[in-house]
A and B are shown apart, each in its own frame.
Chain A
Amino acid sequence: MTSEKIVEVSDVSLAYRRTRHRVSSLKQTAIDTIKRRMSYEEFFALNGVSFDIARGETVSVIGRNGAGKSTLLKVIARVLPPTKGQVIVRGQVAPMIELGAGFNTELTGAENIVLYGTLLGRTPREMRSRIEAIADWAGLTEHLDIPIRAYSSGMAARLAFATATDTTPDLLLVDEILSVGDEDFREKSAARTIEIMNSGCAVLLVSHDLETVKRMSTRAVYLDQGRQKISGNPIEVVEAYLSDVHH
């Protein structure tokens, strides 16, 4: 079953109402409502996007800032239900997110490995059995029993990376290939990401690094203002994107 579809995105749109003027205070909202100045507009973050990813494929999504790339990641990570269309995802999803966001500085390294891994969708029992292996890979075995607040930022990032990548998912969501820590660890972490990407899972890669997109992906999708402008061969898609940007 090499052509097994892991992700199927069919005609997906995501619309929401947003205020014309960005309002973020209750006071301003109240004043605007009373003065009837509140006006909304329907905003399409995604508009009729369709593609799929089979096992072993890497599909890249490129586009300008605000083109809908992160919204697409949210829809596929099932954090955000689409307004229209259908998303099907089969199997375990592992997102590579900004590291350490799920950490609690008062807990020890070991406790954080379990908590963070469980937040990312694994079971506490599974995570407990992986503590040593993860700490070993991050080179933090001696620091497992002290609270994270005593870690340097590089150590915390290493622990987070090791925890997040300690799995071979069915679908890997990558928002820019991360490399963290000092020079040695940076190479090690980039290599690990690429190793997972090549492990046979499906990968959705969102990146501004067009060279990586051309080199790593089987197909690419170019999003422009929520619409899928062109998709297919990554080299052609990148060229189409570049010629738009330079105009």
Chain B
Amino acid sequence: MKVYDSSVRQIPVISQVKSIYENRGLLRLLVVRDLTVRYKRSVIGVWWSLLNPLFTTAVMFYVFNTVFKARLPGGSPFLPYLLSGVLLMTFFNQGLTLGADAIATGAGVLTKVYVRPEIFAASAAISSAINFAIGLAPLTVVLAIYHKTPTWRFPLVLVVMFCMILFTTGLSLMLAIAYVNFDDSRSLINIFLMALQYMTPIFYPISVLGPHTRDVIQLNPLTSFLQVFRREFGNSAVSTIHNWEIMVGTSFLTFIIGFYVFNARWPKVVAKL
């Protein structure tokens, strides 16, 4: 028989991760729910989730390639570079906001039933990762247009995806606390996300930047995620071991901090609701 004893000390982070593992049945259901709602119910199915990144890419390609005549150093094709950027950024935005939204809107249930809200954040990150993986198909097609194929190192993209799941789960937990506490945090986060978008080299090469700007952009962890992804999947950018270090380091650190902060703040949120 299950016994709950409130005086048993729970170790933060470890107990939370353990609880997600124990509830993996629910986690799987939530991921399947996200994907079902997105695919099965619409006529064009899988294409629906690709529509947004593909359309964004088309618009940006027209603006930067045709209007501004942007060129990458060494004459690398612009389209695969751009599409990889848009796909990864969509992964990030989607995982972050879906997770925080799920917790904020589910607060009615989560304050009455014992379900770890962390499961909602993790499921949002995982379903965004699956959408991202589906997006690798059109990226392969785009590479083929330029007579390129994915590199033999492409399985390393799985590591990028895993790090991204950790990163967005941790961030969305902290964002969820902000959503519930402050009514105006949603509009602020949208402005912040827009700024972050421009601070990530989605449609420009890092080499066009001045030395100071370049340092700032390199500090943005998403830059490292993106450069590693581009290099390992389609060889469409240069990445260094330093980028790997930033990617792995920030993702684990953000995950731990996010879980820790959530564990400390969530009971206070529940008490007030």
Residues of A bordering B, CB below 8 Å: 14, 16-18, 24-27, 29, 45, 71, 73-75, 77-82, 85-93, 95, 97-98, 101-102, 104, 106-107, 111, 114-115, 118-121, 123-125, 147, 170, 175
Shortest beta-carbon distance, B110 to chain A, in Å?
A: 7
Shortest beta-carbon distance, A26 to chain B, in Å?
A: 4
Asked if residues A147 and B33 are in contact (CB atoms below 8 Å), the reply is no
Asked if residues B6 and A81 are in contact (CB atoms below 8 Å), the reply is yes
Residues of A within 8 Å of B106, CB to CB, are 101-102
Residues of B within 8 Å of A88, CB to CB, are 3-6
Residues of A within 8 Å of B113, CB to CB, are 77, 79, 95, 97, 102, 119-121
Asked if residues B112 and A92 are in contact (CB atoms below 8 Å), the reply is no
Q: Mark B175-206, 1 if CB is under 8 A from A, else 0.
A: 00010011111001000000000000000000
Residues of A within 8 Å of B41, CB to CB, are 106, 147
Can you identify 18 A-B contacts, CB atoms within 8 angstroms?
A16-B272, A26-B178, A74-B112, A79-B114, A85-B6, A88-B4, A88-B6, A89-B3, A90-B1, A90-B3, A93-B114, A95-B113, A97-B113, A101-B108, A106-B37, A120-B113, A121-B115, A124-B29
Residues of A within 8 Å of B26, CB to CB, are 118-119, 124
Residues of B bordering A, CB below 8 Å: 1-7, 25-26, 28-30, 33, 36-37, 41, 106, 108-115, 178, 181-185, 188, 267-268, 270-272
Asked whether A107 and B37 contact (CB < 8 A) given A98-B108, A101-B108, the answer is: yes
The docked-state distance in angstroms from the alpha carbon of A149 to that of B241 is 50
Residues of A within 8 Å of B178, CB to CB, are 26
Shortest beta-carbon distance, B104 to chain A, in Å?
A: 13
Asked if residues B29 and A107 are in contact (CB atoms below 8 Å), the reply is no
The docked-state distance in angstroms from the alpha carbon of A6 to that of B109 is 23
**Nearest residue, chain A, Cβ from B3:** A90
The docked-state distance in angstroms from the alpha carbon of A81 to that of B113 is 13
Shortest beta-carbon distance, B51 to chain A, in Å?
A: 18
The docked-state distance in angstroms from the alpha carbon of A77 to that of B188 is 34
Asked if residues A26 and B112 are in contact (CB atoms below 8 Å), the reply is no
Asked if residues A82 and B271 are in contact (CB atoms below 8 Å), the reply is no
